């Protein structure tokens, strides 16, 4: 295997124990600070310097712009068979995927800082989570830590690179609601997730409250309590739904059936096609969610002149190709390019989530375990594979794959309740509506799964780097 770790990422222990950090008020917003009887939310911050955050801010928006450009190309230029066979879009979702909306929803890109700099390895554009911990909990922990350090005269201070996230989320949600109202969707605004899924419900409730705080009437209805009347509408609490936010993957919805075999999911999709129901994130997000989209982006870049020769104008601009070359790792629909070069790569299921359906291959093409012995010896962060049931593993393993150049991750060493923990850093970057919102650092195995730990992202004020004065003043005002 090539070099596994590019460098060690610095962290700082916050002056908070779990009792002080995770108060009842905070647990009301983020009730899942522990998962699978293990700590999930940590009281140790991942440190970024100002130049890194500024690059991620700019790069994430540029990568989002490239995704949007290619999405429009797919919607308007490619035949249905290409969406199905190359992007893996289920035939039942093709018509929905072609519903072009001018406003993007909430997305979270996942980034790794490797030997060649920052690389975007995935785009979570359909149902991104981690929102309350990044938008709310990080600010709470950083501000309380700053107060404690100040009272101790420690001279330590952290800035929060995610302090814009709540406002950015609220802005894009309001833009979507205004757009759908202008399009004539007049029913109730309803936010849904599974009632007993603590993480999904908390993410959904956080967004719902942002909408309510902006002055919109909206309500929560558990997925289990929704009712579908084919050809008529979706109902929540006996009210017809006009605009529906669902923290539920579209590829799951498509196959949903009632106990008597009625295709509920297809009935809901039919309502969207007939303009009786608007859905957030917009249905076009299924194109952005497919990991095969990254392979298409790379193919359009790598074979640009040949492919553009059949078009009236170039598919991509030179600027967009520069962004792809700089920030998106080579990604293909088969592993042969990597085997020919003798380089390591990662195989990913196109609908994989939380690392499921992902495997790392070495330069000789040999498959490695999700978490090998070297990681196990130095980390008590167990592999996702140990808690998945067999059906879940098969669901992801049987999906079509994309193959992406392996990017070595940064190592992280931290403490939890007196125990040393080691793992690897994945940096999520929220880009609601195409605008940078904030960071979601997670520390896990070489493939980031459900058991990865969340750590607040922070910038040290007393860093040797010059911190922008406006950023400092903004941080002090919060």
How does residue 412 score in pLDDT terms, banded at 50, 70 and 90? Answer: very high
Q: Are 321 and 359 in contact (CB under 8 A)?
A: no
* 3-class SS of residue 133: helix
pLDDT at 7: 86
Direct distance between the N- and C-terminal alpha carbons of the chain, in angstroms, rounded to an integer? 45
Asked whether residue 5 carries a pLDDT value surpassing 90, the answer given is no
**pLDDT the model gives residue 197:** 95
Inside any domain, residue 413: yes
pLDDT (average), residues 111-128: 96
The string of DSSP codes covering 400-465 is -EEEEE--PEEEEEEEETTEEEEEEEEEEEE-GGGS--EEEEEEESSS--TTPEE--EEEETTSSS
pLDDT score at 254? 86
- Residue 465 domain flag: yes
Task: Please give the tally of structural domains in the chain.
Answer: 1
Q: Sign of dihedral through CA atoms 467, 327, 309, 305?
A: positive
Does 467 score more than 90 pLDDT?
no
Residue 386 pLDDT > 80: no
Between strands 188-192 and 419-430, the pairing is: unpaired
Residue 274 belongs to some domain of the structure: no
Which pLDDT does position 460 carry in this prediction? 86
The β-bridge partners of 430 are 108, 438
| Domain-embedded: residue 196 | no
**Which segment of 26-30, 52-56, 350-354, 414-418 scores lowest on mean pLDDT?**
414-418
Give dist(CA 361, CA 348) in Å, integer: 11
Nearest one of 149, 124, 139 to 13, comparing CA atoms: 149
Pairing of strands 188-192, 44-47: unpaired
What pLDDT is stored for residue 415 in this prediction? 77
Convert the pLDDT of each residue in 42-57 to its tens digit: 999 999 999 999 999 9
Q: Contact at 8 Å (CB) between 262 and 141?
A: no
Q: Say whether pLDDT at 379 is over 70.
A: no
Cα dihedral 81/102/180/286 (nearest 10):
40
Is the pLDDT score of 240 beyond 90?
yes
Query: Is 229 domain-assigned?
Result: no
Residue 448 lies in a domain: yes
pLDDT bucket at 384, cuts 50 / 70 / 90: very low
More confident of the two residues 38 and 53:
53
Arithmetic mean of pLDDT, 269-285: 95
- Lowest model confidence (mean pLDDT) among 12-16, 95-99, 282-286, 389-393: 389-393
- pLDDT tier at 304 (50, 70, 90 boundaries)? very high
pLDDT digits (tens, 9 = 90+) for 192-228: 999 999 999 999 999 999 999 999 999 999 999 999 9
Contacts of 472 (CB under 8 A, 6+ apart): 159, 461
Please give the average per-residue pLDDT across 339-363, as a whole number: 92
Query: Is 255 domain-assigned?
Result: no
* pLDDT for residue 355: 85
Residue 389: per-residue pLDDT: 54
Average pLDDT over residues 247-274: 91
- Give the integer Cα–Cα distance in Å for 52 and 75: 34
Question: Which domain covers residue 305, as residue numbers?
Answer: 5-162+286-476
Spatial distance between the Cα atoms of 128 and 248, rounded to a whole number of angstroms: 10
What Cα–Cα distance (Å) separates residue 76 from each residue in 70, 95, 98, 180, 274? 10, 12, 8, 22, 20
pTM of the model: 0.91
CA separation, residue 151 to residues 48, 148, 427 (Å): 24, 5, 31
How high is the pLDDT of residue 354?
84
Check pLDDT > 80 for residue 472: no
- pLDDT bucket at 6, cuts 50 / 70 / 90: low
What does the pLDDT read at residue 419? 66
248 assigned to some structural domain: no
Tokens linked to 134: 């990044």
């Amino acid at each position: 295997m090539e070099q596994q770790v590019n460098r060690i990422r610095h962290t700082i222990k916050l002056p908070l124990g779990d009792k002080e950090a995770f108060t009842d008020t905070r647990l009301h917003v983020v009730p899942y600070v522990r998962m699978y009887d293990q700590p999930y939310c940590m009281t140790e911050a991942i440190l970024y310097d100002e130049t890194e955050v500024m690059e991620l801010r700019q790069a994430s928006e540029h990568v989002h712009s490239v995704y949007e450009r290619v999405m429009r190309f797919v919607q308007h230029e490619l035949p249905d068979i290409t969406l199905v066979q190359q992007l893996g879009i289920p035939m039942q979702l093709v018509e929905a995927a072609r519903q072009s909306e001018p406003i993007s929803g909430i997305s979270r890109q996942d980034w790794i800082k490797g030997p060649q700099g920052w690389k975007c390895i995935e785009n979570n554009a359909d149902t991104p989570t981690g929102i309350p911990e990044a938008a709310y909990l990080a600010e709470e922990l950083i501000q309380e830590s700053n107060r404690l350090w100040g009272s101790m005269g420690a001279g330590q201070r952290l800035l929060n690179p995610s302090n814009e996230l709540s406002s950015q989320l609220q802005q894009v949600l309001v833009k979507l609601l205004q757009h759908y109202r202008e399009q004539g969707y007049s029913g109730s605004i309803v936010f849904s997730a599974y009632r007993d899924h603590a993480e999904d419900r908390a993410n959904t409730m956080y967004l719902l409250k942002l909408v309510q705080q902006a002055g919109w009437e909206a309500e929560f209805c558990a997925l289990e309590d929704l009712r579908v009347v084919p050809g008529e509408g979706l109902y929540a609490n006996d009210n017809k739904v006009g605009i529906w936010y669902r923290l539920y993957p579209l590829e799951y919805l498509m196959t949903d059936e009632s106990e008597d075999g009625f295709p509920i999911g297809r009935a809901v999709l039919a309502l969207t096609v007939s303009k009786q129901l608007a859905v957030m994130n917009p249905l076009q997000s299924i194109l952005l969610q497919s990991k095969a989209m990254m392979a298409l982006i790379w193919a359009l870049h790598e074979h640009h002149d040949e492919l553009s020769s059949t078009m009236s104008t170039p598919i991509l601009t030179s600027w967009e190709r520069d962004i792809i070359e700089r920030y998106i790792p080579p990604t293909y629909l088969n592993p042969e390019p990597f085997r020919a070069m003798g380089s390591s790569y990662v195989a990913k299921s196109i609908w994989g989530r939380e690392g499921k359906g992902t495997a790392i291959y070495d330069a000789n093409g040999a498959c490695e375990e999700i978490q090998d012995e070297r990681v196990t010896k130095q980390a008590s962060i167990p592999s996702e594979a140990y808690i998945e049931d067999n059906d879940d593993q098969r669901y992801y393993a049987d999906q079509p794959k994309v193959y992406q150049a392996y990017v070595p991750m940064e190592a992280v060493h931290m403490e939890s309740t007196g125990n040393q923990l080691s793992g690897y850093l994945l940096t999520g970057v929220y880009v609601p509506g195409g605008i940078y919102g904030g960071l979601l650092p997670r520390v896990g195995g070489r493939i980031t799964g459900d058991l990865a730990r969340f750590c607040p992202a922070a910038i040290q004020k007393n860093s040797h780097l010059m911190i922008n004065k406006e950023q400092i003043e903004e941080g002090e005002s919060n």
